[in-house]
Structure 1
Amino acid sequence: MINWFDIRDYGAVGDGTCIDSPAINRAIQAAAAAGGGAVCVPAGIWLCFSIRLASHVRLHLDAGAIIRAAVPGAMGAYDLPEPNPHNMYQDFGHSHWHNSLIWGEGLTDIAITGPGMIDGHGLTSKGPGAKWAKRKGYFPESMAGMSAAELAAEDPEEAAMQGQGNKAVALKNCTQVTLSDFTLAKGGHFAVLATGVDHLTISRLRIDTDRDGLDLDCVRHCVVSHCRINTPNDDAIVLKSSLALGQVRPTAHVRIHDCHVSGFDPGSMLDGTFRRTQDKAPDQDGMTGRIKLGTESNGGFHDIEITSCTFERSRGLALETVDGGMLTDIRVSDITMREITTAALFIYAGARMRAPEGTPPGGIRGVRIERVRATDVDPRFASIIAGQVGTPVRDVVLSDIDITYRGGLAALNVPVPEKPDAYPEPSMFGPLPAWGLFIRHAAGLRVQGATLSTTQADGRPALWLDDVEAVHFEQVDLNNAAATPPLVCRDVRGLTGEMVP
């Protein structure tokens, strides 16, 4: 039998004017003192600063309940960012947890459940960048044309963060965690940040937010299912493996299935209008809203499965390691993509190396992607598989892939630059000399059962291979009205199979 604790019994008012977080915290502590239970947030608008979770306690939001983030000022402020000696290599948002609307650290058996709402109206989506002295690869290359003032606005001073709420939900070193059935709007820098969390279940969430939706950093044994997440300005579901915990810890044993990610105007998923007035993310590329592994990738990624997901008006799937970690055993299947704003597939091993001196570069080995259908893809960016000189991406299989690009571009005879220490995005290389698939520094690649098409004639070749070893094509169908050569090879060793031009 569950013990229920009603926050009104502890002084909460719910009028949208009084600050109710002290009462909610009292109810949580009462539940914890009783050995556990469920804290009920009934219908109403509960204006709050920091809410502190406790082990064996569920925070339940009834229908009509809204926990709303207050604006710091005369009525109060959020908990201060706790000291973290391991804050050198990732940004401020990844390095602190207490400065959040709802947070928990070192807890076990906790939950936040719906069907109510968390409204992060009073949170900030800004935060300082990493303290890493080199600062190389902090901003994407697409932001190169922005002014110093514009860049400074994206990278405020740490002193400006005191008392601010930086995240909606932040969890550190917790285990047996459930987040289910609630709606989250305007979640700050991260709607949900889970760092070092084991046995995490996230299901049936609706998130429409300013920056990242789900940031899962150094997590293990995690399932994300049946979520709908709209994040035009940043990533919807992103796995990371930073050094925020002071150790190299991979993100491993994660399954993401039956989720929908998108980049419609902020708030327009929740209100059902799905507006399209915004046409760029803050980094000056197209709308984001995707599923990604990386950018923070010190610990790497292992045993990740992404299946039965839909991308809409967003960037495509990104599998990245750039800070020394290995990306291994990744399985992607049954993906539908519509209106893709950069590359449909981006598999990239770089060497930004935001990591302690002497850390060797990581790499990618063992990626299988099958049954992907992508339409209306940005014509500038072919799907990309790229490593570095001497450290190729290895053992990638693409099977039953159908990608339709808008096409319409002319032949492009410019070299593709090597940018190993840049922030990883498909646009980092500029428009590509091929329209379908660009492969560089790769080995042991198989492409079997693929259809690549353009809706308009395109003057570039479909495939471009550079420094590629042991590549096999089988039943690759290329549909492009322009009379261009289908394949360009430069330093290709061991090309086998067949194509249907």
Structure 2
Amino acid sequence: MQIGLRSDGKKYYLQLIFLVFCGGLMDRCGSRQESDNRPETNPFAVADEIISKIQIPQFKDTTFNIMDYGAVGDGTNDNSEAFTKAIENCHKMGGGKVLVPEGKFLTGPIHLKSNVNLHLDKGAAILFSRDKSDYLPVVHTSYEGQELMNYSPLIYAYQQKNIAITGQGTFDGQADNTNWWSWSGKDVYGYKEGAARQQDEHNLPRLWKMSDDNVPVVERIFGEGYQLRPSFFEPFECENILVRGVTFTNAPFWVLHPVKSNDITIDGVTIVSHGPNNDGCDPEYSRNVHIINCTFDTGDDCIAIKSGRNWDGRRVGIPSENIVIENCKMKDGHGGVVMGSEMSAGIRKVYVRNCDMNSPNLDRAFRIKTNTLRGGFVENVYFKNIRVGQVKEAVLKINTHYGTYANQEGEFMPTVKSVHLEDIEVEYGGKYGVLINGREESPVKDITLTNVHIKKVEEPVYVENADPVQFKNTTINSVKY
């Protein structure tokens, strides 16, 4: 048991007292909520079972065409009222399809309701307003793993069941260097010296302090006057979610961000969005997730599994688990499949198979990242039959010292164990084949590479503070390990 110091000099409570306060011996508070970690003898049979149990939403065969509610597809008329009326009427009538025909439809945020399938015909494009005031009043949302009241996500659902976004059309967030992106504080995205940005004291530091002080979420009010960007599609505390066939582009922030949601199917979706923090898909505190047949071409991680940040993650205490990713293509991005860095409540039971990753701008294929401020755990992760054409830095990177700049060290030792790669072919591995940087107090454990063949890497294996990696029929730079 340890006592540490906050940056303001106040002592933490003893961990035992903190755990009791949070609701019971790490079950709620996160960083030790691991399972018994017994190996799965046939992990992808488990994955198939997870998929079979996910409920895909079904809808009444009734159509509500937005044109019947006054929509005009000229790209300039504001169709917010037409979308609201069509969705509300569909919901009240027991559900069905809200149809968006061919055309360009400008709108403010779209709020989905239970039993509604928002369907875009081929040639349909929904353009989201560039006027930030349209995304008010604030709603209960999340930013980098911490809950708050902020600008509405572009497409939002709160405590709804049986919802879908389907079709062959495009959602265009219209974010660029003159709208939303500059708030990232990066010159390349239009930030000008002296302008407000998300790192300023009244933005993220204020939110972090509110989280540390356990301020109720309804009192964490941001929105107008603050610079925290909204996610693109965020189902919050929802069940039975389907996203199929559509394209997302030009997102302000994270693209697909299910929070505290269950039974999620993302099928045949294309994401092409190269702005700051433009992660493709970020399941957070979410369970029973199936991501299949998708293409990710992103400005940040292609898929990044999350479970809250710091004290907020430990407060919520819901691990992300039962996540199956298959038959996807990863192009540009910081990582192909990533866990963290917001993972304070833990991540387990992730299965990735039959994917292609290839781009000179893809930094890593598989990545796990956390630190002792965020803590959390990762366990029971399986990668199988992955083809990697080219990555920049590493095929597998595990780092429990992530972002260890000021205020990123704390009292919550992360654990990473049971990560397994099998049948992986890599043509150009970049700087490292395997790069692991663990903690002396908590070494990374049970990492296996079976039938993995990595070509053209500068340094095959770099491991620090980890149990020996287990190699079976594996070659790196044609050398057997």
Task: Please state which band the TM-score falls in when normalised by the shorter chain.
Answer: 0.7 to 0.9
> What corresponds to 1:110 in structure 2?
163
Structure 2 CA distance for aligned equivalents of residues 162 and 5 of structure 1: 37
One-letter amino acid of the counterpart of residue 78, structure 1: Y
The TM-score, its normalising length taken from structure 2, stands at 0.73
What is aligned with 2:328?
Answer: 259
Displacement of 1:351: 7.5
Distance 2:474 2:194 in 1: 42
Q: Does 1:308 align with 2:354?
A: yes
Report what 2:40 is aligned to.
none
How far has the Cα of 1:190 moved from its partner? Answer: 1.2
Counterpart for residue 339 of structure 1: 390
Q: Counterpart of 1:70?
A: 129
1:155 aligns with 2:199: yes
1:228 is aligned with what amino acid? T
Q: Which residue number corresponds to residue 206 of structure 2?
A: none
Report the CA distance shift for 1:312/1:80 in structure 2 as closer, same or farther (over 3 A). Answer: farther
Aligned: 1:24 with 2:48 = no
Contact 1:126 1:154 in 2 (8 A): no
| Cα distance change on mapping 1:438 and 1:163 into 2, 3 Å | closer
Which residue of 124, 132, 138 maps to 2:180? 124
Cα 1:163–1:293 change in 2 (3 A) is closer
Please tell me the residue identity of whatever aligns with 1:124. Answer: W
1:236 corresponding residue in structure 2: 302
Q: Where in structure 2 are the equivalents of 1:358-373 lying within 5 Å?
A: 360-373=412-425
Instruction: Give, as a single letter, the amino acid of the residue that structure 2 aligns with 1:155.
Output: Q
Which of 432, 448, 452 is residue 401 of structure 1 equivalent to?
Answer: 452
Structure with the bigger RCO (C-alpha within 8 Å, sep 6+) is: 2
Taking the TM superposition and a 5 Å limit, the aligned residue runs for 1:420-439 are 435-439=459-463
Question: 1:221: which partner in 2?
Answer: 288
Specify the alignment match of 2:102 in structure 1: 43
Contact 1:97 1:171 in 2 (8 A): no
In structure 2, give the amino acid aligned to 1:226: N
1:376 partnered with 2:428:
yes
Q: Is the 8 A contact 1:78 1:164 kept in 2?
A: no
The corresponding residue for 1:387 is 438
- 1:187-336 equivalence runs, <5 A: 187-209=251-273, 210=275, 211-231=278-298, 233-243=299-309, 246-263=315-332, 288=334, 290-313=336-359, 314-316=362-364, 317-322=366-371, 323-336=374-387
Aligned residues of 2:160 and 2:239 also touching (Cα < 8 A): yes
Partner SS, residue 31 of structure 1: helix
In structure 2, the partner of 1:411 is none
Once the two structures are overlaid, the 10-residue window that deviates more, 334-343 or 152-161, is 152-161
Structure 2 partner of 1:440: 464
SS of corresponding position for 1:23: helix
1:10 maps to which residue? 69
Query: Separation in 1 of the partners of 2:261 and 2:407?
Result: 22
In 1, Cα distance between equivalents of 2:394 and 2:237? 34
Taking structure 1 as reference, are residues 96 and 127 closer, same or farther at Cα in structure 2, changes over 3 Å only? farther
Equivalent residues in 2 for 1:444-463, closer than 5 Å: 445-453=469-477
Any conservation in 2 of the 1:80–1:162 contact (CA below 8 Å)?
A: no
Q: Which runs of 5+ in 1 are unaligned?
A: 130-138, 264-286, 408-434, 454-476, 479-498
CA displacement at 1:31 relative to structure 2: 0.7
d(CA) in 1 for partners of 2:66, 2:407: 45
Partner of 1:178: 242
Paired with 1:169 and 1:261, the residues of 2 have a C-alpha distance of: 20
2: CA distance, partners of 1:51 / 1:108: 16
CA drift at 1:99: 1.7
Q: Distance in 2 between matches of 1:60 and 1:230?
A: 23
Deviation at 1:376, TM superposition (A): 2.3
Q: Name the aligned partner's letter for residue 303 of structure 2.
A: I
Report the CA distance shift for 1:34/1:162 in structure 2 as closer, same or farther (over 3 A): farther
Greater displacement, 173-182 / 394-403: 394-403
Aligned to 1:483: none
Matched AA of 1:77: D
State the distance in 2 between where 1:289 and 1:161 align: 33
* Aligned residue in 2 for 1:428: none
Does structure 1 retain, via aligned residues, the 8 Å contact 2:433–2:457? no
Letter paired with 1:318:
R
| 1:20–1:372 Cα change, 3 Å | same
In the aligned structure 1, how far is the partner of 2:296 from the partner of 2:412? 35
Write the letter of the residue equivalent to 2:295. Answer: R
What does residue 415 of structure 1 align with? Answer: none
Q: Following TM superposition, by how much is the alpha carbon of 1:5 offset from its aligned partner in structure 2, in angstroms?
A: 0.5
Q: Check if 1:169 corresponds to 2:233.
A: yes
Separation in 2, partners of 1:436, 1:43: 51
Paired residue secondary structure (1:217): coil
- Structure 1 residue identity aligned to 2:466: A
Aligned pair in 2 of structure 1 residues 20, 351: CA closer, same or farther (>3 Å)?
A: closer
Which SS does the other structure have where 2:67 is aligned? Answer: helix
Q: Kindly state the Cα deviation for residue 150 of structure 1 after the two structures are TM-superposed.
A: 9.6
Confirm or deny: 8 A CA contact 1:97 1:172 kept in the other structure: no
- Indicate the SS of the match to 1:341: coil
The residue type paired with residue 221 of structure 1 is N
Letter in 2 for 1:333: K
Superposition deviation, residue 109 in structure 1? 0.5
SS at match of 1:195: coil
Distance (Å, rounded) in 2 between the aligned partners of 1:352 and 1:205: 31
Provide structure 2 residue ranges, at least 5 long, that are not aligned to the other structure: 1-59, 204-222
Task: Quote how far apart the aligned CAs of 1:164 are.
Answer: 8.4
Report the CA distance shift for 1:55/1:127 in structure 2 as closer, same or farther (over 3 A): farther
- The CA deviation string for residues 301-344 of structure 1, in whole angstroms up to 9 with x for no partner, is 11100111111111221023432211111111111112211111
Of the structure 1 ranges 159-168 and 42-51, higher mean CA displacement relative to structure 2 is found in 159-168
CA distance in 2 between counterparts of 1:15 and 1:152 reads: 34
Report Cα offsets for 1:38-70 as digits up to 9, x if no partner: 101111111011111101111001111101112
Q: Report the residue type matching 1:121 in the other structure.
A: Q
Hey, what's the Cα distance between the residues in 1 that align with 2:84 and 2:173?
18
Query: How far did 1:192 drift?
Result: 1.4
- 2:33 alignment partner in structure 1: none
The Cα of 1:166 is off from its aligned counterpart by 2.2
The root-mean-square deviation of aligned C-alpha atoms, in Å, is: 3.1
Question: How far apart are the structure 1 equivalents of 2:194 and 2:258?
Answer: 29
Deviations 1:127-148 (A, max 9, x none): 579xxxxxxxxx9xxx9xxx99
**Mapped contact 2:107–2:128 kept (Cα < 8 A):** yes
Structure having the higher strand fraction is 1
Identify if the C-alpha distance between structure 1 residues 405 and 383 changes in structure 2 by more than 3 Å, giving closer, same or farther. Answer: same
TM-superposed deviation, 1:366 = 1.1
- Cα distance change, pair 181–63 in 1 and its aligned pair in 2 (3 A): same
| SS of aligned partner of 1:190 | coil
